[in-house]
Structure 1
Amino acid sequence: MEENKQLSFEFKAISGKRVTADFTGGAVTSDAGVLVMRETANRIGIIEQLAGAVHDKRHQSYVKHEMNELLTQRIFQIICGYEDANDANDLRIDPGFKASCGRLPSDDDLASQPTITRFENSISTKDLYRIAEVFVDQFIASYASPPDALILDIDDTEDETHGAQQLSLFNGYHDEYCYMPLYIFEGQTGKLVTSILRPGKRPSGKETRSLFKRVIKRIRAAWPSVGILIRGDSHFATSELYSWCDTHNIKYILGLTKNSILRELAHGTLSAAHHRYETFGEKARVFKNIRYQASSWHRPLRVIIMAEVSTMGENLRFVVTSLESSLPSFIYETVYCGRGQMENFIKEHKIALKSGRTSCHSFIANCFRVMLHSAAYVIMHTFREKALAGTSLARAQFDTIRLKLLKIGAEVRELKTKLHFILPASCPVKDILVMMMRNIALVT
């Protein structure tokens, strides 16, 4: 603190008066909005469930920071834009973060970076499995009543690595050493179902099948009659997944990689698209249904051909699906292309919440870090969906919500009977804050 007190800045004078700044404000926070994150997290109970999933191997006689508090501190700092464990060294004294963790400004400080790092490296594979179950349970609990149908969107993304992280592999497609975290979101709502950090290669059919098997088993235990559609890109289109889905009454629609046989089958469709483009002089799309069976498939499946010709040239796509009704144009343009929203869900997780900070040497520790960011996603998504309903920020991106609602400066006064946060009189989002607190009171 002595070093910070000596730091000062001088700016251009105003009306002949010097303008200076230093770090002697004392009990002031720049993240007063973290209090609403605390209210949201308490309502859905996710941090308590995560704490219950982690086996605490520490000798309890020497514990200064309980598991619940460590998780709360780390997740809330991620939400507020402090994704590095090093940030805890300064934020451990912040009265806003201390309050979010259930401590008063006069209480002992929160955990420092070494404590946070030891915590992240103490997680076991069994802990990770139980944490993954918590995310599926949170997803189920987020519905007031069982839904008629779910769309499970699956996709992965590259997470570039630097240094000597375990299981960091070179990926030829991305031309870099990386991890390939895998996500499943509910495609209509953007709710996170699960996230898994993987080595830098795409999953095999058996791996994808195993993941869906565990997730859907838990979902069907809660909702036996819910309809499920799996939607994904072509590298998830495997014979193992097709046969398993058909056996368990799971529908699917997946991109299909081109091959010489498919190109030959699409020749007439592509010719029709060329003819239409030459006739009308505008982009032309032609669709066609075919039955196709690769040598590894258990049965012939419906494949939709999409042939497009425009000023950009030819665009030939294939989609394989177990959906037997509806026009091929609707299946492709509405059902399959709807998965494009998945990119925005991943962007919120990866960019807004900085989930690419997998810089631990241990692969298990990095897996846990991704799950911490996933917990931050669940809290932020619930906050936007529930607390911001009916406000101008109801559809805002996470980084916009952080900037407008979490990054609010406040003086914190610890009185005899209460802890009082004094917010700026000039705060431009007062009305949103009022409605937000009303909405949070209704979250269950």
Structure 2
Amino acid sequence: MLLLRQVDRHIGLTRAAAAALPDPRDPERIRHGLREMLAQRIYGLCCGYEDLNDHQALRGDALMQTAVGSDQTLASAPTLSRLDNRATRAQAWALHEVLAAQFIASHDRAPEELVLDIDASDVPLHGQQELGAFHAYYDAHCYLPLYVFCGRAMLACVLRSSKIDGARHAAAVIKLLVRRLRRAWPHTKFIVRADSGFCRRRLLQWCERSDVGYAIGLARNARLHAAVEYVEAAMADEYAASGAKQRLIDEFAYAAKSWSRERRVITRLEYGAQGTNPRFIVTNLEGDPVQLYDRLYCQRGEAENRIKEAQLDLFGTRASCPRFVANQLRLLLAALAYTLMVRLRQLALQASELERATAASIRCRLLKIGAATLRNTRRVRVLLASHHPLRELFASAAARLAALGP
């Protein structure tokens, strides 16, 4: 937890989050500051404490108090619950601005190109949560949050009812993000990448008007199959003659009925023992179709791993509040915890065995280790085991973070 505290001091994550949220409480009656409460929640998520009930014990933990910056008993579970339940849509907007600002601040200079990955996932519901609905694909009552990632960084996590089109709000979210990032980096090239569930006319047209590249999956249909059937027949003959699996990446022009013009479609065709397996993507990017498909579009699946890390390792599915906006705040707290873990990896674990580790691996191997805490009126001492397997890595990470400063 001390490593998390040092990262937070350097990047100012909880300070920025507290500054973005209004505090309607009477200042004369406040015992626990907003920044301390947010730090308590975020550090707890990073260290595996997903429930508010856990803080009934953690509020008296000397190490948690030291990390948060207090020597007194921390906020109780009911106090933290009131923080969730007074959430508003404006607060969700403000915390998304914090995510964007943290991403911008993590770069020393403007990047030449950024690829924004859009994807959706489910948050299961087990009660009477507001706007909860049954989703046939997930076969459960759930929410359908929309995520945007750039590499490992999370830029948006918008909670939505599952009773909508999966691509709903995607164009608006991308529009807002690109505008925000262009204010900081006006010359950076942006590329939007998504699966076929997000191939919507509004998103394609906005990207073309705004000089934003895209590589988005295209759902198979009869017209697309007809465009490649002769090539697939030739591949079937070649497979029958040689017995080797056939693979081809090519391109052609195509326009759906709802499109105003033809667009470039790249197809990947395969023929093997199980027959044909075509894939299609639509793009406005120039370049070799093989490179665009293999090197650009196929990397889209990495965003799904990041969603799993945010939802499973950092408990981004804890939507147990009755109010919808309160559950959006919980999702954003998990996003802030995810951001803190990403920055810990970048700032302290470069060129180490945990450089590419998930949040759960870092927690188990570096954060959740036994220690004795001694506190008096002058200082707090944390005594770690001398034979811990990652002792040298811990010392190296602590030294790197101490050198950064606040």
The TM-score range, normalised by the shorter chain, is over 0.9
Structure-to-structure mapping, 1:177-196, within 5 angstroms: 177-187=141-151, 190-196=152-158
Q: What is residue 64 of structure 2 aligned with on the other side?
A: 97
Q: CA deviation at 1:159?
A: 1.3
Distance 1:156-1:416 versus aligned 2 partners, 3 A rule:
same
Verify the 8 A CA contact 1:389 1:439 in the aligned structure 2: no
RMSD: 1.4
Give 1:158's aligned residue.
Answer: 122
Counterpart among 221, 224, 229 of residue 191 in structure 2:
229
Equivalents in 2 of 1:211, 1:66: separation in Å? 32
1:116-135 matched pairs, under 5 angstroms: 116-135=80-99
Deviates more, 1:307-316 or 1:112-121: 307-316
Q: What's the offset of the Cα at 1:205?
A: 5.6
Moved more, 201-210 or 380-389: 201-210
Does the alignment pair 1:278 with 2:240? yes
- Shift in CA distance, 238/55, structure 1 to aligned 2, threshold 3 Å: same
Q: Could you say which residue in structure 2 is the equivalent of 1:60?
A: 27
Q: How far, CA to CA, are the matches of 1:391 and 1:258 in structure 2?
A: 43
Which residue of structure 1 aligns with residue 77 of structure 2? 113
Cα distance in structure 1, aligned partners of 2:143 and 2:404:
36
Shift of 1:442: 4.7
Return the alpha-carbon distance in structure 2 between the equivalents of residues 232 and 437 of structure 1: 38
Residues 203, 225 of structure 1: alpha-carbon distance in 2 compared, 3 angstrom cutoff: farther
Is residue 429 of structure 1 aligned with residue 390 of structure 2? yes
Distance 1:272 1:147 in 2: 44
Partners of 1:110 and 1:44 lie apart in 2 by 23
Deviations 1:338-369 (A, max 9, x none): 11111211111011112111111110000000
Aligned twin of 2:316: 355
Gaps of 5+ in 1: 1-33
**CA distance in structure 1 between the aligned counterparts of 2:33 and 2:238, rounded to whole angstroms:** 68
Q: Note if 1:412 corresponds to 2:373.
A: yes
Against the structure 1 CA distance between its residues 167 and 273, is the aligned structure 2 distance closer, same or farther, given a 3 Å change threshold? farther
Q: Structure 1 residues 80, 204: closer, same or farther in 2, change over 3 A? A: closer
Deviations 1:122-147 (A, max 9, x none): 11111111111111111111101100
Partner Cα distance (1:354, 1:168) in 2: 19
Q: Of 47, 51, 61, which residue of structure 1 is paired with 2:18?
A: 51
Deviation at 1:192, TM superposition (A): 1.4
Corresponding letter in the other structure for 2:195: D
For residue 19 of structure 1, what is the aligned residue in structure 2?
none
Does 1:167 pair with 2:126? Answer: no
Q: Is the 8 A contact 1:253 1:319 kept in 2?
A: yes
Map of 2:285 onto structure 1: 323
CA-to-partner distance for each residue in 1:363-414, whole Å, 9 max, x for gaps? 0000000000000000000101120012211111111110111111222111
Identity among equivalent positions (%) equals: 35
Q: Across the two proteins, how many residue pairs are aligned to each other?
A: 405
Residues 203, 135 of structure 1: alpha-carbon distance in 2 compared, 3 angstrom cutoff:
farther
Structure 2 residue identity aligned to 1:176 = A
What amino acid sits opposite 2:302 in the alignment?
Q
Amino acid at match of 1:346: I
2:278 counterpart SS class: strand
Q: Which moved more, 1:235-244 or 1:298-307?
A: 298-307
Structure 2: give runs of 5+ residues left out of the alignment.
none
Structure label with greater radius of gyration: 1
Q: Is the 8 A contact 1:205 1:241 kept in 2?
A: no
Distance 1:82 1:67 in 2: 19
Separation in 2, partners of 1:38, 1:83:
18
Are residues 329 and 277 of structure 1, via their aligned partners in 2, closer, same or farther at CA, if it must alter by over 3 Å? farther
Q: TM-score, normalised by structure 2?
A: 0.96
Checking the alignment, whether the CA contact within 8 Å between 1:243 and 1:298 is kept in structure 2 is: no
Contact between 1:239 and 1:298, CA under 8 Å: does it hold in 2?
no
Q: Is the 8 A contact 1:355 1:370 kept in 2?
A: yes
- Select between 41-50 and 273-282 the one with higher mean Cα deviation: 273-282
State the match for 1:18 in structure 2: none
> Residues 368-379 of structure 1 correspond to what in structure 2 (within 5 A)?
368-379=329-340
CA distance 1:91–1:174, shift in 2 (3 Å)? same
After superposition, the C-alpha distances for 1:160-191 in whole angstroms (9 at most, x for unaligned) are 1111011111111112111111111113xx11
Alignment TM-score, normalising by the size of structure 1: 0.88
| CA distance in structure 2 between the partners assigned to 1:235 and 1:336 by the alignment | 14
In 2 relative to 1, CA 206–80 (structure 1 residues): closer, same or farther, beyond 3 Å?
Answer: closer
Q: Map of 1:217-296 to 2, 5 A cutoff?
A: 217-296=179-258
- Look up the match of 1:336: 297
1:81 aligns with 2:45: no
Q: Which moved more, 1:207-216 or 1:309-318?
A: 309-318
Q: Which amino acid aligns with 1:322?
A: N
In structure 2, how many angstroms separate the alpha carbons of the residues matched to 1:276 and 1:202? 44
**Amino acid of the residue matched to residue 349 of structure 1?**
A
Q: Report the Cα distance in structure 2 between the residues aligned to 1:291 and 1:194, rounded to whole angstroms.
A: 33
Aligned AA (1:338): Q
Q: Alpha carbons of 1:92 and 1:255: their partners in 2 closer, same or farther (altered >3 Å)? A: same
Provide, for residues 38-91 of structure 1, a one-character-per-residue CA deviation record: whole Å limited to 9, x for no partner. Answer: 100111011111101111111122111110011000000000001111111111
Tell me the residue number matched to 1:139: 103
Q: Is the 8 A contact 1:47 1:68 kept in 2?
A: yes
Partner amino acid, structure 2, of 1:378: T
Contact 2:146 2:170 in 1 (8 A): no
